[in-house]
Amino acid sequence: MIGRAMDPKKPPVSLTHLTRDGNAHMVDVGAKDVTARRAVARARVRMGHETFMRLVTGDTPKGDVLAAARIAGIQAAKRTSELIPLCHLVTLTRVEVTISLDGGVAIIDASAEARDRTGVEMEAMVAASTAALTLYDMLKAVDRGMSFDVCLVEKTGGKSGTWLRDEDESEATPHEGGA
């Protein structure tokens, strides 16, 4: 158990993927109810102005970068349990990846949905991350200085209910680098 140093009044947090001896294990979700689960993750890919303009106009060396990134994100969500140790295989009912281009930043929103015993936060996060990595891969010939961050925006369903990120927490600073 890990204690909360900031607030001694709150009970210690128990990490579900660790045994009492501190060994990693897969959480048993067999007794949990099957409920509707949904999660949305966001990646913000920062790039130089020239790179952004080439992405907007479609003048990229490797073809339709945005379509490839969307497809990569969807494929990755379906393979999450193979990529993340101790992550359960979830039967996804829907995955959507959208990419908007705004102010020099590619904003990737990935949503994952399932009716299952465990959440789909990791599927949404993996989808957004993989779409961002695909953008990097397909644009690196133009701008190796690109960077990205990923965060969970919201999750619904399950025992813990709904969680929403404060808007202030999901802002990213623009990339200052050149091409």
Residue 9: Cβ-neighbour burial (10 angstroms; 0-12, 13-18, 19+): exposed
Among 108, 110, 104, 135, smallest CA distance to 123 is for 110
Distance CA 170, CA 151 (A): 7
Q: How many CB atoms lie within 10 A of CB 108?
A: 28
State the DSSP string of 70-81. Answer: HHHHHHHHHTHH
User: Of the listed 137, 143, 149, 166, which one is catalytic?
Assistant: 137
Residue 61 to residue 45: CA distance in whole angstroms: 18
CA 48 from centre of chain: 23
- The question of whether 166 is a catalytic residue gets the answer no
Catalytic residues: 137
